[in-house]
Amino acid sequence: MAKDTVVESPELPWMRERRFPIRHVIPFALCHLAVLGAVFTGVTWQAVALCVGLYFLRMFAVTAGYHRYFAHRSFKTSRVFQFVLAFLATSSAQKGVLWWAAHHRRHHKFSDQEGDVHSPVREGFLWSHVGWLFVAGSEETDFDRIRDFAKYPELRFLNDWQLLPPTLLALACIAVAGLPGLFIGFFASTVLLWHGTFVINSLAHVWGTRRFETTDTSRNNLWLALITLGEGWHNNHHRHQASCRQGFYWWEIDVTYYVLWTLSKLGVVWDLRPVPEKILEEGRQADLARRQGAPAIDPAE
C-alpha cells in the first residue's frame, strides 16, 4: 500500500501572532544611530574607503555565499572556501548562514503565496523590507530545510555565534581607521548593506519588468541589480533559481557572476550551473514579442 503523501503546511505560527519584542528592534535601531557618531569623530578617507570596500565585499559574500551557494547550491567549492564565504556573509549581521538559506528556500517554495514570509504584494513594503525580521519566532532556524549544510559543525557554530564575525570586523575597523572606521567603515556600510539586500525582498516583486511567466510577481530591475551586484534580475532568478548566473544575457550586469566565473578559472569554485538553452530561447522569444508590441506579462494573481 502506498504511503500517504505529507503536504507541508505553509502557515507559520509566528506570522499569525506577530509579536514584536523590543529586544529585536533596539539593536537594529542602534546600528542606524551609531552612524551619527561620525558627527563627533569626523569622517576620514580611510573610513570612507572601508565603507565602500566592506559594502561590496560583504554584498558579494551575501549574494554569492548566502544566496547562490547555500540557498541554491548553484556552484561547488571546497569546505575551506565554503567557510570563508559563510564567515564573510555572517559579518554582514544578517543573522546566521543556515538561518538565511533556510528562510530563502522557504521563500521560493511559497513565493508570493501563503507561507512566504516576506511577500510585498501580500503584506506590503514595510513588512517585507524589515518588519518580518523583528517578529518573535522569526529568529529560529528551520534545520529541516537546510539539512545539507547543517551537517557541517563549523557552519552550525557560525549560525549559533552569528554576532562573532561582525564584532571582530568592527574591532578590525577601529584598528585600521580609529573611531571613524567604526562609525563609517563598519556601521554605515552595514546599514547600507542591510537595505541594499532588503530591497530585493521589498521592491524586486513590485518594481521592474517581467520577461518570464512565473507563479509569483518577481521582476527584473537594472538599478536593483547594480546595488546588489546582480540580484536585481529577479524574474530571471525565479524562472530558473538553480542557475549561478542571474543576468541571463550579456547585457544584464551581474557582478557576482563575473567574480564567481573568475574564481572558477582559478580553481576556487567549480561546476557553475548554467542557464539551460531552452530557457534562454524562451527569454529571447519573450523579448522579441515585447519589442513587437505584445502586452506585458501580468503577474499571477
Q: What is the pLDDT of residue 299?
A: 64
Q: What is the pLDDT of residue 91?
A: 98
Distances (CA, A) of 104 to 82, 101, 234: 18, 5, 13
Q: What is the pLDDT of residues 186-199, one digit of tens each?
A: 999 999 999 999 99
Cβ–Cβ under 8 Å, residues 190 and 166: yes
Q: What is the pLDDT of residue 234?
A: 97
Q: Residue 63, class by beta-carbon neighbours within 10 Å (0-12 exposed, 13-18 middle, 19+ buried)?
A: buried
Below-70 pLDDT ranges, the chain: 1-11, 294, 296-301
Residue with cell 513594503: 125
What's the half-sphere exposure (Cβ side, CA atoms, 13 Å) at 6? 1
User: What is the rounded CA–CA span in Å between residue 200 and residue 207?
Assistant: 10
Q: What is the pLDDT of residue 291?
A: 85
Residue with cell 546600528: 31
Cβ–Cβ under 8 Å, residues 274 and 236: no
What's the half-sphere exposure (Cβ side, CA atoms, 13 Å) at 265? 5
